[in-house]
Structure 1
């Protein structure tokens, strides 16, 4: 018995090393991704207050209505890439990569439709509430909207660069190759800082220059990664050229991707809600909230690296039909999470006064932030743990359950509890400062409650996972898509089932199904031959893909038309207001970029 326990202990120690080897470069990658927009915003702050406010607002818009969505969509890559690479059918990884590039590129067009009209949208949203929400008085300045619009429109290529880098990074990540992406990320940050200095202070291009510094640095990332892949021939074992199979199985892909969007955006957008609520309590509360959120972001990035490593290890083991290894990888990741959150909790508690001073020199903000840092440290225990649970969930491919857990944790508990407590305290206390301080404390109490429940929900999900069944599903995902045309189960694209029925019906009518009926053991091979020889299924699939593309292109065209008609007219017809005299929104969600 003791020998068996020793063997399990040795296996776990090996798994610890594998996860740690993957985790630290992934942490570095996440840090570089987070710091890039912070550096850009900091450079804009040296222009003038209006430029700083515009860059902050634009970055927040880009994060909420751009980066959070494409990062969530990449959750399908998190599941499929490691599982396929862990299987014996590694060439399928190249097809899934092609599918990801096409589907997510189409998704970009939908996002850009919103970006084209961002300035007018922000103007309408905020100016309608100027009289009600005094903290948004800053946004009555039409110049701010024009500058924000300028930054976002010019930064359109940056989101494309980030998306393609994410896909290629996850492609390498699934193969255990993570250090090159970390190095490329560091170089990209250096390029961004250098170009920001040149474009803003040498060439005097203003916010347009800042946006193009981001464009060049972010577009450098996928180009450099692609050069590395070709140079080191990393693709040889997984790439067999462009294949028409990339048009298959979009339904299954989008099920994983959309669940990933919900899973991520609920958490991401909840912190945006907290920041808006803190803004209603005044500039001191908002300044403290900015310091707290940025600290929690840094702590989250550390656990996110471990979670990404867990995604790879769990996915690889499931893809190789090793449910015991997948379970062991999940346990190792959870153990590492407990160690990391305890260490980071201790660091925050020991340095809370120093951390508060790192973000501001305002004494009131420092005192309030230092008071709230114990709540941040406590939140990280649950937030960091659920982050790693989320990585395991993505590695398994049960994002739908993760999305439900996030919805319950944030939308049902955290946000309602936080907002009710916040504004109950604000209205119930006579002392204005006491009410505001208790209000922001209540926000973090709500967050703490929601995160603890979310972690509990994640634990329940993982405790009920049938690892053997999940290994079978991973093997199914790793099969050739042409073979999937002959199978009918819940994990396959619904279109494939329809095509299969259509083929069989036609062949039955033509009395050509004798081979299919004669032998059960040869049925899959026979149907596969029929599928390959019948042109109808490919015509049906291609028609659907063309219709989807035309529809998205039409939406894109409508957005572009609105930009040159309605949006431009709104921005030009509004008179300028007084110059900006204060910047209440600083160091907040503009830096929340994971």
Structure 2
């Protein structure tokens, strides 16, 4: 019993050590976008509208791709590093960078046509054209951030998390400095803000590449560039596309809430905006701890050590449940203070005070559910994660929420009733599937896949496969 408890304690300490730097890193990266909006807001309403619309499109198109890349890379890399053929990790990094370039080409196609698409859905033509220019300036940064997400996943799996935190901090400070220079000193306006953001995004992979080369942290897992990165794309995309789809499901869910709130009224939209910013903050610890859990579970499954994998799953469930409880209690204690930080409007504050009692349990349930999702991702069940999210959000929660909002006529209370129901359904589905998971069989399958890079191993030299 003492040995088992010490093992759980070790995993808990490891998850906390890995999780909190990942959390801060993600938070620092997320702050770059509201900081950009703040600079544009100082230029006037039109500039803020252009930047807000451009950032929304960027986050709708690019962020799901970059997050999907990272989630799939975390799974593949951790499993490869847990196997006996650790140098396969370098091949996976190369394959992921190639995929990032392909995804960037698709994003460029959307960027050069986004003005027409925005006008078609009712946006002002001048704002739409300005947003397209903003996004076009961001495109080099888009490519860089996609490549950086791959490098970030690689470093996370190597448990080198503090360099990533430092790089995000430097990039944020550079972003603030360049935007102040371009917007106010050089008078470049909105385009100056876009240029400053682009430069700071481009800085991230440059710093990461420099660190990898100088520290030689890659020497045991990445011997050099290889043509093997063009093999085994079927299995890779089989996990990458569901990871991206999973992010799109959540982004579309959030955008749906914003659209419905805007339809109900300005005060409702303002209250929803406050809740959305609050939710982003509360999700960062879940993302950080969940990412750490994926790397740990993936390593153990790659080594066919399903017992350790199950231990990490139990620990992350308890840890995220505790984090969710603390966040819920803090929100309950500060429920009267939070809306006043963002808005002085009494109607907005009143609406916030009504729906906060739905948001508090929602945050706790979502945090708890992240443990199931981390376990499924660590075991290569990205398709299952998409199905869970799709069913919970769009087949259970939102139909009920929209019916309560419009048919019953209870407005925002109905909308957030749907969100709460979807979170409970998401948690239950994840729990049921994870409890029924054949850890032994999955570990054998994952380990076998990690040990076998491709079905055409015979065409590759013996030295390359070592």
The two structures have a TM-score, normalised by structure 1, of 0.76
CA separation in 2, counterparts of 1:92 and 1:84? 6
CA contact 1:418–1:445 (8 Å) conserved in 2: yes
1:10 equivalent in alignment to 2:6:
yes
1:423 to 406, 410, 413: 406
Larger radius of gyration: 1
Contact 2:74 2:153 in 1 (8 A): yes
Which among 234, 255, 260 is matched to residue 243 of structure 2? 260
Partner of 1:462: 434
CA distance in 2, matches of 1:268, 1:461: 24
Matches within 5 A, 1:392-407: 392-407=375-390
2:369 aligned partner: 386
- Please state how far the C-alpha of 1:460 moved relative to its aligned partner: 1.1
Q: Which runs of 4+ in 1 moved over 6 A?
A: none
CA distance in 2, matches of 1:420, 1:307: 33
Shift of 1:485: 2.3
CA distance in 1, matches of 2:285, 2:71: 19
TM-score, with normalisation over the residues of structure 2?
0.96
Match of 2:414 in 1: 442
1:320 maps to which residue? 303
Determine if contact 1:307/1:389 at 8 Å carries over to the other structure: no
2:17 pairs, out of 17, 21, 25, with: 21
Select 1:209's aligned residue among 192, 201, 213.
192
Q: Which moved more, 1:147-156 or 1:252-261?
A: 147-156
Distance in 1, matches of 2:63 and 2:246, equals 14
5+ residue gaps, structure 1, are 127-138, 427-437, 487-527, 534-594
Give the alignment partner of residue 105 of structure 1, picking from 82, 96, 101.
101
Contact map agreement 1:304 1:384 (CA 8 A) in 2:
no
Aligned 1:103-252 pairs, distance under 5 A: 103-126=99-122, 139=123, 141-252=124-235
How many angstroms apart in 1 are the aligned matches of 2:121 and 2:246? 26
Match of residue 456, structure 2, among 474, 480, 485: 485
Higher relative contact order (CA 8 A, sep 6+): 1
Q: Provide the C-alpha distance between the structure 2 equivalents of 1:404 and 1:119, rounded to a whole number of angstroms.
A: 32
| Contact 1:80–1:477 (CA under 8 A) maintained in structure 2 | no
Q: Secondary structure at the match of 1:234?
A: coil
SS at match of 2:187: coil
- SS of the equivalent of 1:478 reads helix
| Segment of structure 1 superposing worse, 389-398 or 21-30 | 389-398
For 1:361-372, list aligned pairs within 5 A: 361-372=344-355
Contact 1:119–1:149 (8 Å) recurs in 2: yes
The unaligned stretches of length 5 or more in structure 2 are 462-466
| Residue of structure 2 aligned with 1:358, choices 334, 337, 341 | 341
How many aligned residue pairs are there? 461
Deviation string, structure 1 residues 56-80 (Cα, Å, up to 9, x no partner): 1111111111211232233320210
CA RMSD of aligned residues (A): 1.3
Tell me the CA shift for residue 100 of structure 1: 0.6
Give the superposition deviation at 1:480. Answer: 4.6
Distance in 2 (CA, whole Å) between partners of 1:257 and 1:476 is 19
The residue correspondences of 1:264-303 to structure 2 (distance < 5 A) are: 264-303=247-286
**Residue 95 in 1 paired to residue 91 in 2?**
yes
Whether the aligned pair in 2 keeps the contact of 1:84 and 1:474 (CA below 8 Å) is no
C-alpha deviation, 1:408, in angstroms: 0.5
Whole-Å Cα distance in 2 between the matches of residues 207 and 307 of structure 1? 36
